[in-house]
Chains A and B, each alone.
Chain A
Amino acid sequence: MSLVDAVTDRFATDLRAESTREPPADPDTIIEARDLSVYYGETLAIDSVSMRIPERQVTAIIGPSGCGKSTFLRSINRMNDLVQGARVEGELHFKGKNVYDEDVDPVALRRLIGMVFQRPNPFPKSIYDNVAYGLRIQDKDDNLDERVEQALRQAALWDEVNDQLDKNGLDLSGGQQQRLCIARAIATDPEVILMDEPASALDPVATAQIEDLIDDLARDYTVIIVTHNMQQAARISDKTAVFLTGGELVEFGDTSQIFSDPENERVEAYITGRFG
């Protein structure tokens, strides 16, 4: 079966039949939000969210535009600190420690929680330097060649670029750029990888590659992925959180259950496409 056929096949398959993953057997919680609210100025972006995200699984966050799903993601590694006027209430625990405590350094936090963005954003440097950047600033620059190769292999990009590591990262295709960004994020070996709609700017073939990759990454990392593509959430995630307009977390549970038998009516309406 060709890749394109595989993709079409994936999209054609019924949503409810997709979620074949086993529900997790009580894994450890790595991230826990407790009544977390985020404001931009006077606007409430997420409203008193509480949830426990399990370790080494894929958690998808879905919801319509403007529901606060990206804001929630960015509050985990404190990227919202960079937005002027952003304000956080409540707590967000990473491995039992509230990351909004005064003694938490957001830079140190981001070294443990990597991030992949909506649009591929490689630096205008060589492929090698892109992957090595995080390692260099984190002083993990022993065995640099080895670490870069390993990250590129994990990001399923090594075979395509191993003979052109000097090439500028911006000269790669969109899908390759995004895998390069994933390699950059995992090179420093973080514990969690946040992905903010990582495939929304990519074509179906590249999307399928990224999805396969996410599956592999969940063996070593906790992956939290924001997507507005419900099929994608159903295909790749173990847990799904549904945010709806108003920045509210409406339902959170095993992906198979959310897509087959949601408890909340609004969630059901959203998932079946009647709303949102």
Chain B
Amino acid sequence: MSQRYIDEEGFAIEGDNLDRKRFYGKIFVGVCFVSAIIGVIALGLLIADVINEAWGWLDWTFLTYPPSQLIENYLPDGRGAGIFPALIGSIILIALTAIFTILLGVGAAIYLEEYAPQSRLTSLIEANIANLAGVPSIVYGLLGLALFVRAFQMGSSLIAGALTLTLLILPIVIVASQEAIRAVPDSRRQAAFGVGATKWEVIRDVVLPSALPGIMTGTILSLSRAIGETAPILMIGAATTMFAPPIRDGPYGTQLPDLFGPFSAMPMQIFDWATLPQEGFQHVAAAGIVVLLTVLLSMNALAIYIRYRYETKT
């Protein structure tokens, strides 16, 4: 500790530039605060603007009716028009993507963290996965078009869209899951091995339960990214406008998702509305955006809830 001298004027510390130094400190804090708040303000302004545009256009009818080319039908006294087929399309699309992503992503992460030997091949795979996370989404769209739509002859179907979105977010989910698995204390694995558990039992009973909150958070955040993606599903040829949701009649009067049929999704539908020339459609597009953002923010909220609910015990 440096020495301090006391004289008649109290503490005299090498000149009196302390005030100046404190002032610089305050400027620095100010800059940091503005940096922190600017993203929040931008999002707030965006949401406020969209809600303002959509005001009066978003109601129950909008959620439950198919779209129309005529602006009159969206008005309160019109025949009713809305986002229903695209909303259902998006929900089924994201549910399918979630199933594929969790199976493949968690599987890959468990293999890489728990089983893979520390070899060059493993490092190569890991480096590649990290790089894939940065590939633009339209490239995945091209891949999906060549692979699922053409080569596997799935057509521009729900399943082709879900598989394409799975490829898109898989690298991020793998990396997030790997981190969650790596964060499980090794002492806990050893405890299970110590009472005679097999490797599989250790992973099932110790590693996965401890890593699950982290895995779920990463997966849900990736899915909420995927639900707003337009480029990949545009490339695989998803419809801009569908007049019926991708649902077919199943056995015993059930209704099942039509996995191999055409579909639309909210981003496509919003894009379509935004390109229509008649006045009023920008309000319809804004209403669509509000629906999309609501779904997306609910998913993020769920991710945050899971993190707080289950990550208290470490």
Contacts and interface: CB of A to CB of B under 8 A. Distances in A.
A128 interface: no
A184 interface: yes
Given A124-B313, A170-B313, A111 B196 contact: yes
A137 B196 contact: yes
A181 interface: yes
Nearest to A78: B193
A101 to B, nearest CB: 18
A234 B191 CA distance: 28
B187 A114 contact: no
A84 B192 CA distance: 18
Nearest to A129: B205
A110 B201 CA distance: 14
Given A84-B118, A123-B206, A110 B188 contact: no
B313 A114 contact: no
Contacts of B194: 77, 79, 110, 114-117, 185
Interface in A100-157: 107-108, 110-111, 114-117, 119, 121-124, 133-134, 137-138
Given A107-B197, A110-B193, A123-B188, A133 B205 contact: yes
Q: Which of B117, B195, B206 has the most CB of A within 10 A?
A: B195
Contacts, number: 65
A188 interface: yes
Contacts of B201: 137
A121 B190 contact: yes
A138 B196 CA distance: 8
Contacts of B193: 79, 82, 110
Contact of B191 (A82, A108, A168, A181): A181
Contacts of A168: 313
Contacts of A82: 190, 193
Contact of B196 (A84, A107, A116): A107
B191 A114 contact: no
Interface residues of A, number: 27
A110 B190 contact: no
A119 B313 CA distance: 17
Given A121-B191, A184-B191, A107 B185 contact: no
A173 to B, nearest CB: 16
A108 B195 CA distance: 10
Interface of A: 77, 79, 82, 84, 107-108, 110-111, 114-117, 119, 121-124, 133-134, 137-138, 168, 170, 181, 184-185, 188
Interface of B: 117-118, 185, 187-188, 190-198, 201, 205-206, 209-210, 313-314
Given A121-B190, A123-B206, A124-B314, 4 more contacts: A77-B194, A116-B194, A124-B188, A137-B205
Interface pairs A-B: 8 shortest CB-CB: A134-B195, A111-B196, A115-B194, A121-B187, A110-B196, A121-B191, A124-B313, A137-B197
